[in-house]
Every structure is written in structure tokens, then in C-alpha cells.
């Protein structure tokens, strides 16, 4: 089977278990259906893509990434060869230029192996990533979910995801990160499936188009 087929099968199995054990999630599945897995190829390019997408709209992130990838910026050596003017024309801020170069340098000198992180416990992988400038816990967890296929990640720093928790559980207010962590602990070890489901719920309730398997969308 392909990686995409494997991910879909694992997601379907995880959602089935969550639906069987948690009535609130069963109700969400009945409302919005089964989400697609979001799949990124492990490596420098995918990690850089997530960094590029920080704190900008999905559409803006996609446009910047398309220009960067078209220029060959998903390659470590090529990215390190770009000057500020080139990266600025592509759309990277000064901060993201700095973050991207730090990431590329770490991969080039062997400090970080983005693919090898799959062999580490989740929290250790997160620690390796967050040791780099510009990579916080949210970025590390998104990479673990979409590129490494970690089945038990729930990025509580994501506002839309916490709003999805509020919607699914019928809460009056959006829970803060620590409360969301506590509320979702019962969904282990399938929290990545729950996260995909609640992102889908959030977009459905807000009337936002569903994202594609690669995370693309309006």
C-alpha cells in the first residue's frame, strides 16, 4: 500500500475507535463525515513550508510557498544560496529568512535530521525541533502530524482547534491550552485523528472550504 493509503486506513480506524468510545466525537463524525489525512513528505521542504505558513492566511502561505518551491527553495543548498533580496521578492519576512536559514544550516551540518525524527519519541522530536529559532511547539507538532504521521498529537496552541473542542463538547467558552490538553487526554492514543476531525468541524461550522490532503485550500 502507498503511504497515503496507509494513512487513510489508520485515520479511519482511529476515528472508528474514537466514535465508539466518545459520544461527542461520534456526533461530530455524523455531522461532518470523515476528514482526509493531511500528508506532507518528511524532510526539510515540508518543515520549511510549515515555518513559511506561520501567522499568515492559508492563501498567503500557499502563494509564498509556491513561489519559493518554484525557485528551488525546498532544497537546502539552494535555499542557503538565496540572498535577502531574492527571499524578500518571494515574500518571506526578515524573521522567516532568519528562521529558514537556521533550519537549512541545521539540516546541512547534520544537527537536525527531519526524517530521522520519526524514530524518536514524540516529545523528544518536538524538543529537537523547538531548539531551533522560529520553530515553536505548534510548528513541531504540525510537522509530527502531517509529515511524520504521528497518531497522537493534539496542537492545543491552535486557536481553531481549541474552538473545535468547544464546539464538539458544547462548552460555553473556548478552553485555554492547559484545559484543552486535559479535555483531550481521554482521546489518546488517537489525538491526531481527533484533531483532524475537529479542524473539519470548525471549518464546516464556519462555512470554510475543507482542506486537501496536502493542507492546501482557500
- Residue percentage of the chain with pLDDT more than 90: 90
Cα–Cα distance measured from residue 106 to residue 117, given in angstroms and rounded to the nearest whole number: 14
Torsion on CA atoms 165, 135, 118, 145, rounded to nearest 10 = 20
23: which residues sit within 8 A by CB, 6+ positions away?
none
For the cut 60, the answer to whether the pLDDT of residue 135 exceeds it is yes
Whether 215 shows a pLDDT value over 50: the answer reads no
In the chain, how many H helices and how many E strands?
12, 0
What number of CA atoms fall less than 13 Å from residue 145's CA on the CB side? 26
Quote the pLDDT of residue 157.
95
Residue 96: C-alpha distances to residues 36, 116, 149, 185 (Å)? 29, 24, 25, 33
Q: Rounded CA gap, 168 and 200, in Å?
A: 11
Residue 93 — pLDDT band, cuts 50, 70, 90?
A: very high
Per-residue pLDDT of 47-78, as tens digits, reads 999 999 998 998 999 999 999 999 999 999 99
Residue 218: which pLDDT band, with cuts at 50, 70 and 90?
Answer: very low
- Domains of the chain with CATH codes: 3-39+152-206 (1.10.1670.40), 44-146 (1.10.340.30)
Query: What is the DSSP secondary structure assignment for residue 156, as one 8-state letter?
Result: T
- CB neighbourhood size of 89 (10 A): 11
Q: Which of 115, 151, 131, 135 is nearest to 53 (CA)?
A: 135
Q: Tell me the C-alpha distance between 22 and 65, whole Å.
A: 38
Query: For cell 513528505, what's the residue?
Result: 41
Taking a C-beta distance cutoff of 8 angstroms, is the pair 18, 25 a contact?
yes
- The arithmetic mean of pLDDT across residues 128-135, rounded, is 98
Residue 2 pLDDT grade (very low, low, confident, very high; cuts 50, 70, 90) = low
* Residue of 203, 211, 47 lying closest to 113 (CA atoms): 47
> How far is it, in rounded angstroms, from Cα 157 to Cα 150?
17
Task: Give me the pLDDT at residue 210, please.
Answer: 60
At residue 217, does pLDDT exceed 50?
no
CA distance 135 to 100: 10
Q: What is the pTM of this model?
A: 0.91
Amino acid at each position: 500500500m502507498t503511504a497515503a493509503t496507509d494513512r487513510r486506513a489508520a485515520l479511519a480506524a482511529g476515528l472508528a475507535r474514537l466514535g465508539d468510545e466518545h459520544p461527542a466525537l461520534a456526533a461530530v463524525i455524523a455531522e461532518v463525515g470523515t476528514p482526509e489525512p493531511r500528508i506532507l513528505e518528511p524532510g526539510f521542504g515540508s518543515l520549511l513550508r510549515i515555518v513559511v505558513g506561520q501567522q499568515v492566511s492559508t492563501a498567503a502561505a500557499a502563494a509564498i510557498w509556491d513561489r519559493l518551491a518554484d525557485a528551488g527553495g525546498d532544497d537546502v543548498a539552494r535555499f542557503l544560496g538565496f540572498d535577502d533580496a531574492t527571499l524578500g521578492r518571494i515574500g518571506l519576512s526578515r524573521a522567516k529568512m532568519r528562521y529558514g536559514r537556521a533550519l537549512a544550516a541545521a539540516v546541512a551540518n547534520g544537527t537536525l535530521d527531519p526524517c530521522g525524527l520519526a524514530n524518536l519519541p514524540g516529545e523528544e522530536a518536538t524538543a529537537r525541533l523547538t531548539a531551533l529559532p522560529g520553530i515553536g511547539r505548534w510548528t513541531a507538532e504540525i510537522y509530527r502530524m502531517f509529515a511524520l504521521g504521528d497518531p497522537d498529537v493534539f496542537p492545543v496552541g491552535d486557536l481553531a482547534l481549541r474552538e473545535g473542542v468547544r464546539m464538539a463538547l458544547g462548552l460555553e467558552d473556548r478552553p485555554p491550552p492547559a484545559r484543552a490538553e486535559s479535555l483531550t487526554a481521554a482521546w489518546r492514543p488517537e489525538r491526531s485523528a481527533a484533531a483532524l476531525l475537529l479542524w473539519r468541524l470548525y471549518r464546516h461550522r464556519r462555512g470554510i472550504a475543507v482542506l486537501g490532503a496536502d493542507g492546501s485550500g482557500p
